[in-house]
Each structure stands twice: as C-alpha cells, then as structure tokens.
Structure 1
C-alpha cells in the first residue's frame, strides 16, 4: 500500500473512463464529470470499464502528473456509478489499491470537525 497524508483530498470518478486519455483528456473529465479543478493538487482517480486499471491525475507544482496501476489478474472493487463526484479519505484509496474490498469492511465512528 502507499502512504498518503490524511489532509489530501481524493475525488473518484465512479463512472468508467476511457483510460487511453492522457493529461488533458483526464483533466477535462475532472472538470466535466467530477466538477473539480484539476490544478487544485487533489488526487483525481479514474478506472476503466473492466476495473483492472486505475489512473490518478494530479497537479505537481508545475504540471500534470499521472500515476497508473494495471492489475495482471483480478479487479479493483469500485463504487457504483453516481452523478456526483465521490470523495474518499486517502486511507480508502490506499486500501482499494492494496486489494481491500471496502464493502466488506466497516468504518468505526470517529470525531470530525463540522465545516464552517
């Protein structure tokens, strides 16, 4: 698994995306489908229809960067498609990348500050 700071925001496109798209194509999907600014520094996560590939787009100070993961066997557990963007805590992204099925896990209640 990868370690991500808990302050990082992760936005997930739940609908399948054509992963032949590169930097500009994924940035446009982030604007249109997720309603997010791709230059914000947040991680923008996309998966293909078979759910065996994931691309993560992010702004790296002076340009876009893409991280990609392709599974040789199996699939990623992915949320059902929905109209709005889904925000995951970084720990959930790390869990999905590590092969953990989020539906089979349970989140314990924790204190959280209410947004102002």
Structure 2
C-alpha cells in the first residue's frame, strides 16, 4: 500500500493548507495553484498553518492515495525555499526525515570515499 519511493518526484505546496481538504480539495490545489496535473504520479505535500499536520497526495495510476500524519507534540519543519529555482529542493531522504520530524536544516551529507585521482 505504501508506494512512495526515491523514483518519484515530490512537490511541497508552499502555503498553509486547510487539513479538512481531502482528495478533491487537494487535487484542486495541485491543479489550480501549482498548475500541475494531480494525475501525474508525482507526490504533493501539504502542511497546515500550525505545522503539526501533513498530507501527501499521490495518484498511483488507478486511484488516489492520501497519507496523513498528525504530530501530538512539536512541528514539521518547513524546508528552506530556494529563490533561484523557485521551489523546495528536497531529496527523497529529506522528505522521509521531514515526515519523521527530523530537522533537515543542518543536515550535511558526508563523503564516504577517498578520491583516487586529482581533478
């Protein structure tokens, strides 16, 4: 059932979202605000104003799946907006950390190899 993975594209909606919205309401935001097709197979992420609820909308090819998580304490971190690209540049692993409530602000990917040649 959980069909999300690193091969998918993830889009974070930048405005606070009313979590009463379900499949149709969130699909409308994707189509009207993001100007994208909710049937693309991409995953669309929505966070509420208090940042304690998150929804992910995904079209699987035959149906919509809506993932919903509510934090009892704490908040979801809102990722840094990249002005140059006009979007949030998040990898799949950063999406997973965001959903798990792990801070991604100071994440540094370590190099786990030694260069054999100088460039």
TM-score (norm 1): 0.79
Structure 1, unmatched stretches of 5+, are: 110-116
Give a deviation string over 1:9-56, Cα, whole Å, max 9, x none: 111012101111111110011112222211111110000000000000
**Alpha carbons 1:39, 1:59 under 8 Å: kept:** yes
Q: Give the number of the structure whose alpha-carbon radius of gyration is greater.
A: 2
- In the other structure, the counterpart of 2:117 is none
Secondary structure of the residue aligned to 2:24 is: helix
Q: Which structure's relative contact order is higher, taking Cα pairs within 8 Å and 6+ residues apart? A: 1
CA distance in 1, matches of 2:28, 2:82: 18
CA distance in 2, matches of 1:63, 1:15: 25
- In the other structure, the counterpart of 1:114 is none
TM-score (norm 2): 0.77
